[in-house]
A and B are shown apart, each in its own frame.
Chain A
């Protein structure tokens, strides 16, 4: 077993006396995982995510990033390892050109000249924004703006990416591009943690899914297990993806289907219908 890249140990956090956002969170993340964080707003997803790059520090318990305690390690050390992409692009974008936006992070890390250019070029090509270097970030459409925020984190080449609701406000094409991007980053060996409300996205992208509600982890396991845990999902008012719902109803009636995506369902129903014909 490799060393965990993130270890969250019994973390508690309260914004004030009334709002306790995290109530004893335990979570271990290994390098190369692709994880979805799901749950209603106000449940603690973003608070937990902000603990992963040291934006917030636990009031009780601890968060270890590659063994470094976020309370005692300078934040600029942590952000080299964990990159955070904010939900709202306008909270993150500030430069006057796309190039400068993406160059800002690596320049702060001390990169310059050819190496800096190489990083910016690579980051822009990862998100498909090559050729827009001189554009003003605020002239981009919402989908591209979102991709730019990811590129400006990619250019810092962190080992872990935390994306806060990248799919919110996106059309279907935007969601597909972000799904492909998460998979591509993961294939490059990056650890990816995505907060999202889009269950189809979760089913098609995430290998592991964590459900958070009222400051606690309700479910944590392989995406298929989480998305078919109907009773817990219902209690958390989460609708599983349509294909998972179809599978679950048919399974209750004795049909052997476990699909949660269209591609899986195609395979399984093909077999079932071919067998029925024979």
Chain B
């Protein structure tokens, strides 16, 4: 058993028509770890996600240098089909991920498994488990096209989970959702994280990410510009602002207060921490 589920070493990549999308990217993800990936649009975040399940370079072609090892498999030496059972990829637009050929939520989750030829009992067991994990019980016989945005995105996660992947890769899973949808999807991600799933998630909702990410990696123009424990990266306020990434509001506020007023408040990364820190500082616990 490898210690790391993901081991990316000095990965550089150019699409056939777009050069230097990733430059010398290295990081590792341990089993059970949640890695958040942040950075401006066009930084290479989605390309990196596609490199984790082999779509880059197998599907897109282009120039690939370095090494991506997922669940012990070098992505260059394994097909996307093989890698698909190890890496569950969920994209931004919930509707585009539906197979379009199934009539019910249950069938949609079962679809990948039946294509891979799993026995019927195993499929049934896994589908029920996956639907339970994302909280879609009771909607098994609903049409996938009659779901809300948040429900459709949870269905996409269930479809990925049914294959029991070693790692779940989520590329801006909440970007297209309304507040209820965002809440639903973040709740599922947090639950999966608590249960020990290994997760890589690209997000612009930094305040949410701060509540569950172990490590954070920031990309800018294809390069890693910050990488480490979530608290360390999110409190690098100047650095984040330089790349036009907003830290959590309470983090930025406290950093600016300390800087301009000379206060020595501990810098929070979540609302709960901020309430405690400000409550204590103002004597109203």
Q: A262-B249, A265-B253 are in contact. Are A246 and B281 (CB under 8 A)?
A: no
Residue in A41, A172, A249, A250 whose CB lies within 8 Å of B246: A172
Q: A169-B175, A171-B204, A237-B180 are in contact. Are A246 and B244 (CB under 8 A)?
A: no
Q: Which residue of B lies closest to A237 (CB)?
A: B180
| Total contacts A-B at CB 8 Å | 99
Interface size class of A (residues with CB under 8 A): 35 or more
A253 interfacial by beta-carbon distance below 8 Å: yes
Bound state CA distance, A200 and B183, in angstroms? 16
A-B pairs, top 4 by smallest CB distance, nearest first, are A173-B244, A253-B284, A242-B249, A41-B178
Could you pull out 20 A-B pairs where Cβ atoms are within 8 angstroms?
A41-B148, A41-B181, A42-B148, A168-B176, A169-B176, A170-B41, A171-B39, A171-B244, A172-B244, A172-B246, A197-B177, A200-B246, A237-B179, A242-B248, A243-B249, A249-B275, A266-B256, A270-B257, A270-B261, A276-B282
B221 interfacial by beta-carbon distance below 8 Å: no
Bound state CA distance, A172 and B183, in angstroms? 20
User: A242 and B250: CB pair below 8 A?
Assistant: yes
Residue in B177, B179, B245, B263 whose CB lies within 8 Å of A172: B245
Q: Hey, which chain A residues are within 8 Å of B275, CB to CB?
A: 246, 249-250
Q: Interface digits, B145-180 against A, CB 8 Å rule (1 contact, 0 not)?
A: 000110000000000000000000000000111111
Q: A141-B42, A142-B41, A262-B249 are in contact. Are A242 and B271 (CB under 8 A)?
A: yes
Q: Hey, which chain B residues are within 8 Å of A143, CB to CB?
A: 41
- Contacting A at CB under 8 A, from B236-281, are 244-246, 248-250, 252-253, 256-257, 260-261, 263, 271, 274-275, 278-279, 281
Q: Hey, which chain B residues are within 8 Å of A141, CB to CB?
A: 41-42
Q: A262-B252, A266-B253 are in contact. Are A176 and B181 (CB under 8 A)?
A: no
Bound state CA distance, A274 and B3, in angstroms? 51
User: B284 and A255: CB pair below 8 A?
Assistant: yes
Q: Hey, which chain A residues are within 8 Å of B263, CB to CB?
A: 273
Indicate the member of B42, B249, B260, B274 with the most A CB atoms within 10 Å: B249
Q: Interface digits, A175-204 against B, CB 8 Å rule (1 contact, 0 not)?
A: 010000000000000000000010010000
Where the two chains meet, the residues of B that have a C-beta atom closer than 8 Å to any C-beta of A are 39-42, 92, 148-149, 175-183, 204, 207, 244-246, 248-250, 252-253, 256-257, 260-261, 263, 271, 274-275, 278-279, 281-284
Residue in B148, B246, B261 whose CB lies within 8 Å of A273: B261
Smallest distance from the beta carbon of B166 to chain A beta carbons, Å? 29
Indicate the member of A171, A239, A254 with the most B CB atoms within 10 Å: A171
Q: Interface digits, A206-236 against B, CB 8 Å rule (1 contact, 0 not)?
A: 0000000000000000000000000000000
User: A253 and B279: CB pair below 8 A?
Assistant: yes
Bound state CA distance, A170 and B175, in angstroms? 8
